[in-house]
Amino acid sequence: MSCKHHHNCEKAAKLTAEQLCETYGFRFTESRKQVFEALISSHKALTAKELMVQIGNNQPPITYRALEFLTEAGLVHFISSINAYIACAHAEDEGHISQFLICKECHEVEEFQAPDAVCLLMQSAKNGNFQVSDTSIEMLGVCSECQN
């Protein structure tokens, strides 16, 4: 599978993940690895259920725990508008804001960055004296592939 969507793909990302875990004293265990690999090897966003099917696990807590861990570690993002998870494409950039283009045909998801837009949004919030802790930008539509 090609990798136009990830800055550092699969192997590199796994390395980043392992290092990140070690840095903070956590373990990149088997179940976490399984979930992460399932996500990084698919550029699509996967629901918890789809993940469970893919890694052959029908015990929800195991998958949900791995997802919670990976999400908190910043290795995976949760896309609330479609209730699905995706491996982060910029994990090395810690604490960055999540911005997604989500194709409703093929479910492929591209994580992109538009710092200038984010800046304007932050400005808006600041004008309202609102202290932002978490921002999510989710754009649903049809990707270039699926427009044909």
User: Among 30, 60, 105, 114, which residue sits at the site for Zn ion (rule: CB under 5 A)?
Assistant: 105
Q: Report the partner that residue 32 touches, choosing among DNA, Zn ion, its own copies, none (CB closer than 5 to 8 A by kind).
A: DNA
User: Among 39, 66, 84, 103, which residue sits at the site for Zn ion (rule: CB under 5 A)?
Assistant: 103
Residue 140 Cβ vs DNA, minimum distance, rounded to whole Å: 15
What track of x and - describes contact with DNA for positions 61 through 100 (by CB under 7 A)?
xx-xxx-xx-------------x-----------------
Residue 47 Cβ vs DNA, minimum distance, rounded to whole Å: 6
Nearest CA among 5, 78, 8 for reference residue 45? 78
Q: Report the partner that residue 65 touches, choosing among its own copies, Zn ion, DNA, none (CB closer than 5 to 8 A by kind).
A: DNA
Nearest CA among 28, 25, 35 for reference residue 62? 35
Return contacts of 126-130, CB within 8 angstroms, 24+ apart. Answer: none
Cα separations in angstroms, 80 against 31, 56, 102, 103, 115: 23, 24, 11, 14, 21
In the bound state with its own copies, the residue whose beta carbon lies nearer, of 25 and 128, is 128
* Token pair for 126: 């600041």
